[in-house]
């Protein structure tokens, strides 16, 4: 399956989840109704009713009315509990991580484990075209585990346990993180958060029952206490029904997606040793993948490894041996026993293994980092077919990882530190927009001075020279590395930064594609994520519903990708033929193209997956109608794809 087919599959899973949830709620409603009505009948008859007369008593008025009222109350309780839980997770992926006690990776510091983790996450993000997620660590967890959470790639968070940092070498850590990125790309995260909320509602009655029992301990004994205690015990038992359905739903939805994520991780990293090695260490170490965090079972379906020892039909993950044998068919239990004996006497250390294999915190291969000169030339042309572009969305390959590694290794240290700094990140974004033209730069300085905090201005002034020296393919990645720090600043700061960015790009009376790309990504990956639920599109519209926005986008891309108007018109026609065959729409690139594009992003983001696939193919045909595209056109296409939620890898040939 390609990216768009996986997105469609995730939507089908969401519908399946809703059906299973409704069935579980109906079962709970029937059980509660029966419990309450039986309690009423038994209290009224003082327990002397004959079993044969029970149905007669249950069917007499006002019993049906009471049953209906109880059903409504139960549904309201379940719905309210689910809604409250979802509202608590409204902040997105980081909220899920924090709920388990995870802490963000510190901005500064030279901890080699933190640097290695940051580098692996950022490398995979750049290679896959996914926004750089927030990174968290579960410090108190010695088991090897990880998870990705969020409503969409723009608000995603990746969390790993301390055990994963301590025990996994770089290749293994990369395999685990690649597995979690596959969940981000496959649309699993939103489904997983929905599961947390819905299953909390199912378990709400059990919580109510336990609290009723605690309350009854402090009450004097009276005639009605027995019935109340019976109802409370019944609610706890009915909560067990909820637990049964909840675990069944989680296992039914998540198990096969774990196999898919393992396969995707191998596809991303182009080697099986990493993820297979991580699975072997989980199977061979006493701590395994166990999670001890309070409330951790809420996220059991999101974890890399089974954190709670569930098995059989309740297992959220396939058996470890089965996962390993899919990756390494010749692996057997004897080898696992040998590894266990070795690791019991000498537990593995990931950093020591890195040193033995000559792997550094920033290099994933046992050879020296490639120099900055290996980055592609600015005028390099790339062979690429439009249909292949659709297949590449959400599907990075080896050259993409090599390119991402080169981009990171060639970044000046001063910019890397600024991108990872909560205080300097706003200044870095402003520095990327600071013009090299003296007059324009002077106007931009006047716009900033006094309108932003002094620390922002000082950082921007200090960083503008190294930003000006960046290779074109490094400019957006260094900004995206900084975006996670910006997301956690006060809303007023983010809005002020967006306003100053808009002022800077208009300082010379015009806006370039690179300026528009940075401003747009700042809005879509930082500002819009302030409310992650609202920032995600519905994904149900079809192309004809958004025809004006599609035509505007095609015309704008054609105009900026080709200097010759005649060539641009032919490119527009080539794209139009892919998306609207037979339609004769004149080529009219808008004069105020930034405003026109901004107006079109909302309807375009609401397109369903097949429509987005066709649109990406049309855009690729538009920039690639002559069979070759430039780095500038790749950057343009990647920016558009990123705004549409269709992450496109660098797709560059090996330099």
In the chain, the percentage of residues whose pLDDT exceeds 90 is 31
Q: Residue 134 has what pLDDT?
A: 93
SS3 of 60-91: CCCHHHHHHHHHHHHHHHHHHHHHHHHHHCCC
Residue 638's SS3 state is helix
Q: Which residue has the tokens 């007499």?
A: 60
pLDDT digits (tens, 9 = 90+) for 303-358: 998 887 777 777 778 888 888 998 888 888 888 889 889 998 888 998 988 888 76
Q: Do residues 286 and 351 touch, judged by C-beta distance below 8 A?
A: no
CATH fold of 105-191+258-349: Zincin-like (3.30.2010)
**What is the location of CATH 3.30.2010.10 in the chain?**
105-191+258-349
Q: Residue 66 has what pLDDT?
A: 87
DSSP 2-57: -HHHHHHHHHHHHHHHHHHHHHHHHHHHHHHHHHHHHHHHHHHHTT---GGGHHHH
Q: Residue 368 has what pLDDT?
A: 39
Most confident of 39-43, 95-99, 373-377, 426-430: 426-430
Report the length, in residues, of the chain: 655
Helix (H) or strand (E) run with residue 310 in it: none
Q: What number of H helices and E strands is found in the chain?
A: 28, 6
Residue 371 pLDDT > 60: no
Q: What is the mean pLDDT of residues 432-457?
A: 93
DSSP annotation of 148:
E
Q: What is the mean pLDDT of residues 623-637?
A: 71
DSSP 83-143: HHHHHHTTT-HHHHHHHTT-EEPPSS---HHHHHHHHHHHHHHHHHTPPPPEEEEETT--S
Q: How far apart are CA 316 and CA 302, in angstroms?
A: 9
Which band of pLDDT confidence, cut at 50, 70 and 90, is reported for residue 448? very high
Q: Residue 219 has what pLDDT?
A: 62
Q: Residue 370 has what pLDDT?
A: 40
Question: Is beta strand 134-138 parallel, antiparallel or unpaired with respect to 157-161?
Answer: parallel
Q: How far apart are CA 214 and CA 232, in angstroms?
A: 10
Residue 381's SS3 state is strand
Phi-psi region of 586 (alpha: psi -120 to 50; beta: other; left: phi over 0): beta
Q: Residue 462 has what pLDDT?
A: 96
Residue 16 pLDDT > 90: no
Average pLDDT, the chain: 83
Lookup: tokens for 332: 């057997």
Query: What stretches of 524-564 show up as alpha helix (H) in DSSP?
Result: 532-535, 547-561
Q: What is the mean pLDDT of residues 522-550?
A: 80
Higher pLDDT, 90 or 419: 419
Residue 500's SS3 state is helix
Q: What is the mean pLDDT of residues 471-478?
A: 88
Residue 173 pLDDT > 70: yes
| Candidates 141, 180, 297, 617; catalytic one | 180
Q: Residue 115 has what pLDDT?
A: 92
Which band of pLDDT confidence, cut at 50, 70 and 90, is reported for residue 444? very high
Q: Residue 44 has what pLDDT?
A: 66
Q: Residue 53 has what pLDDT?
A: 65
Q: Do residues 136 and 101 touch, judged by C-beta distance below 8 A?
A: no
In the chain, the percentage of residues whose pLDDT exceeds 70 is 86
Q: How far apart are CA 61 and CA 39, in angstroms?
A: 15
180 a catalytic residue: yes
Q: Do residues 179 and 185 touch, judged by C-beta distance below 8 A?
A: no
Which band of pLDDT confidence, cut at 50, 70 and 90, is reported for residue 510? confident
pLDDT digits (tens, 9 = 90+) for 205-226: 777 877 777 777 666 555 556 6
Higher pLDDT, 15 or 498: 498
DSSP 464-490: HHHHHTS-HHHHHHHHHHHHHHHHTS-
pLDDT digits (tens, 9 = 90+) for 600-627: 998 998 898 889 989 988 988 888 766 6
């Amino acid at each position: 399956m390609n990216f768009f087919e996986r997105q469609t599959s995730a939507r089908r899973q969401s519908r399946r989840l809703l059906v299973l949830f409704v069935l579980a709620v109906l079962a709970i409603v029937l059980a509660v109704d029966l419990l309450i009505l039986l309690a009423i009948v038994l209290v009224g008859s003082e327990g002397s009713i004959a079993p044969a007369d029970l149905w007669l008593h249950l069917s007499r008025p006002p019993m049906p009315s009471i049953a209906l009222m109880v059903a409504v109350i139960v549904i309201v309780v379940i719905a309210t509990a689910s809604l409250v839980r979802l509202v608590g997770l409204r902040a997105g992926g980081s909220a899920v991580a924090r709920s388990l006690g995870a802490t963000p990776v510190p901005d500064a510091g030279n901890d080699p484990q933190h640097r290695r983790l940051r580098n692996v996450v950022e490398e995979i993000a750049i290679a896959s075209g996914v926004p750089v997620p927030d990174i968290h660590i579960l410090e108190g967890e010695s088991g090897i585990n990880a998870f990705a959470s969020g409503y969409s790639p723009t608000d995603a968070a990746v969390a790993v346990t301390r055990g994963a940092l301590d025990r996994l070498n770089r290749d293994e850590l990369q395999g685990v993180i690649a597995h979690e990125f596959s969940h981000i790309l496959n649309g699993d995260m939103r489904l997983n958060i929905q599961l947390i909320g819905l299953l909390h509602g199912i378990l709400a009655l059990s919580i109510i029952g336990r609290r009723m029992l605690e309350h009854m301990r402090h009450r004097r004994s009276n005639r009605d206490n027995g019935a109340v205690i019976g109802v409370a015990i019944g609610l706890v038992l009915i909560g067990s029904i909820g637990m049964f359905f909840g675990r069944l739903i989680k296992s039914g939805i998540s198990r096969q997606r774990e196999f898919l994520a393992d396969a995707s991780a191998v596809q991303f990293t182009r080697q099986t040793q990493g993820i297979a090695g991580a699975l072997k260490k989980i199977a061979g170490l006493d701590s395994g993948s166990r999670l001890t965090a309070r409330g951790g079972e809420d996220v059991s379906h999101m974890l890399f490894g089974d954190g709670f020892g569930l098995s059989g039909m309740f297992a959220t993950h396939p058996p470890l041996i089965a996962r390993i044998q899919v990756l390494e068919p010749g692996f057997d239990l004897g080898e696992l026993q040998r590894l266990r004996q070795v690791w019991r006497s000498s537990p593995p250390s990931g950093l020591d293994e890195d040193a033995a294999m000559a792997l550094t915190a920033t290099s994933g291969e046992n050879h020296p980092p490639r120099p900055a000169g290996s980055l592609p030339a600015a005028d390099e042309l790339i062979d690429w077919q439009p249909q292949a572009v659709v297949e590449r969305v959400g599907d990075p390959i080896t050259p993409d990882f090599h390119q991402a590694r080169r981009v990171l290794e060639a970044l000046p240290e001063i910019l890397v530190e600024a991108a990872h700094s909560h205080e300097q990140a706003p200044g870095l974004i402003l520095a990327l927009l600071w013009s090299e033209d003296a007059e324009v730069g002077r106007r931009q300085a006047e716009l900033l001075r006094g309108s932003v905090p002094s620390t922002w201005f000082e950082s921007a002034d200090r960083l503008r020279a190294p930003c000006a020296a960046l290779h074109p393919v490094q400019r957006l990645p260094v900004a995206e590395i900084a975006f996670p720090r910006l997301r956690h600043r006060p809303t007023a700061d983010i809005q002020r930064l967006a306003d100053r960015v808009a002022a800077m790009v208009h300082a010379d009376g015009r806006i370039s594609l690179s300026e528009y790309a940075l401003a747009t990504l700042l809005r879509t990956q930082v500002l819009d994520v302030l409310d992650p639920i609202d920032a995600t599109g519905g994904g149900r519209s079809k192309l004809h519903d958004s025809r004006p926005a599609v035509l505007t986008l095609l015309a704008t891309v054609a105009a900026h990708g080709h200097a010759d108007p005649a060539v641009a018109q032919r490119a527009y026609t080539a794209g139009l033929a892919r998306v609207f065959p037979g339609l004769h729409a004149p080529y009219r690139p808008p004069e105020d193209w930034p405003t026109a594009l901004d107006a079109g992003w909302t309807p375009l983001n609401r397109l369903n997956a097949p429509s987005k696939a066709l649109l990406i193919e049309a855009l690729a045909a538009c920039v690639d109608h002559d069979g070759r595209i430039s780095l500038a056109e790749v950057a343009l296409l990647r920016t558009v794809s990123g705004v549409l939620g269709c992450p496109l890898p660098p797709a560059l040939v090996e330099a």
